[in-house]
Amino acid sequence: DALHTVVLIPGDGIGPEISEAVKKVFAAARVPIQWEEHLISTKNVVPGQDLIPSTALDAIRRHGYGIKGPLETPIGKGHKSLNLTLRQALGLYANVRPCRTVPGIRTKFDHVDVVTIRENTEGEYVGLEHEVVPGVVESLKVITRSASERGARFAFEFARQNKRRRVTAVHKASVLKLSDGMFLECCRRTAKEYPDIEFREALIELCCGYLISQPQRYDVLVLTNLAGDIVSDLAAGLVGGLGLTASLNKGEHTVLAEAVHGTAPDIAGKDLANPTALLLSAVMMLREMNLHDHADRIERAIYTVIKEGKNLTGDLGGKARCSEYTRAIIDKL
């Protein structure tokens, strides 16, 4: 029968190596998909031309599923981030990042299980910045009711479908009365439609304080874009960091799995990178494709290898190369 096609964007730096790991593990698990590779890179951006070739965007739109390695986002002036361009161009309005304690990874807490859900298209990320007069700049935070409602609904639907108990809206409505105020109001209104899910509210700084002292307080968090960016890294840090945590961007008809760690140029091309984050993101995508058996098997194999601790990459204190770790996962399938 017809195979699904998944668009693969290997990315910059360690991207190609960790993408190779995903391809090998998928092949070994006999995941019924075929790949269509698109080489998007920050290095290929040509001034005056589209940041991302329309062939790549069309492919993701057409096939509905994509996996993306890290793409470099330079700080300072220049072109817009390719990561953000992808999210905005594809209407990937929600970003889901589960952070759950990984057996075998020593951290301060034993039972963290937090999912951050981030509005992914607007907020401070709209790229509306200007210099008013020399020495004075403005960066706009744009919040719309429609995107806030969509994000809130997504969070509650996610909670219901994944049998989670509670959604906490994380905000700074005490100061940002209009923007976060409206976001919070949308969360409150949506909460009323989900009486089966407990709803709470938390000021963002209190939430951060509790995350690092009593993370068990939290279940699903829903946040505006920049707040979600920051708090999701904090949550990832609680369970071992960005090298171990998955991320999925979702739009109406489009799913893009991505590793959210950097491109690690210092170890690029040396077969030393840890592919876990991209693998676990790819597993999330498989669940979206209803390939639950494949997802479960791959996930179990990854967690078994980590728990055994014998074939870990350098970032986890081991000596294995990326390819050796990948082989160990394949052996467990």
Residues that bind Mn ion (CB under 5 A): 229
From ligand IPM, Mn ion, none, which one binds at residue 73 (CB under 5 to 8 Å depending on kind)? Answer: ligand IPM
- Closer residue to ligand IPM in complex, CB, 84/329: 84
- Closer residue to ligand IPM in complex, CB, 84/191: 84
- Closer residue to ligand IPM in complex, CB, 16/262: 262
Q: How far apart are CA 139 and CA 81, in angstroms?
A: 16
* Burial class of 230 by CB neighbour count within 10 A (0 to 12, 13 to 18, 19+): middle
User: What is the closest distance, in whole angstroms, from the C-beta atom of residue 174 to ligand IPM in the complex?
Assistant: 24
Nearest to 123 by CA among 144, 141, 150, 111: 141
Do residues 246 and 102 make contact, with C-beta atoms less than 8 angstroms apart?
no
- Closer residue to ligand IPM in complex, CB, 120/148: 120
Binding string to ligand IPM for residues 218 to 257, with x set by CB under 6 A, is what?
A: -----------x----------------------------
Residue by residue, DSSP assigns 197-246 as: SEEEEEEHHHHHHHHTT-GGG-SEEEE-HHHHHHHHHHHHHHTT-TTS--
Residues 65-104 that bind ligand IPM (CB under 6 A): 73, 81, 83-84
From ligand IPM, Mn ion, none, which one binds at residue 83 (CB under 5 to 8 Å depending on kind)? Answer: ligand IPM
From Mn ion, ligand IPM, none, which one binds at residue 81 (CB under 5 to 8 Å depending on kind)? Answer: ligand IPM
Q: Does 119 bind ligand IPM (CB under 6 A)?
A: no
Cβ contacts of 191-196, under 8 Å, gap ≥ 24: 191/152, 191/156, 191/167, 193/156, 194/156, 194/159, 194/160, 194/167, 196/160
User: What is the closest distance, in whole angstroms, from the C-beta atom of residue 81 to ligand IPM in the complex?
Assistant: 4
- Closer residue to ligand IPM in complex, CB, 12/20: 12
Q: How far apart are CA 55 and CA 131, in angstroms?
A: 35
3-class SS of residue 4? strand
- Binding-site ranges for ligand IPM (CB under 6 A): 73, 81, 83-84, 229, 260
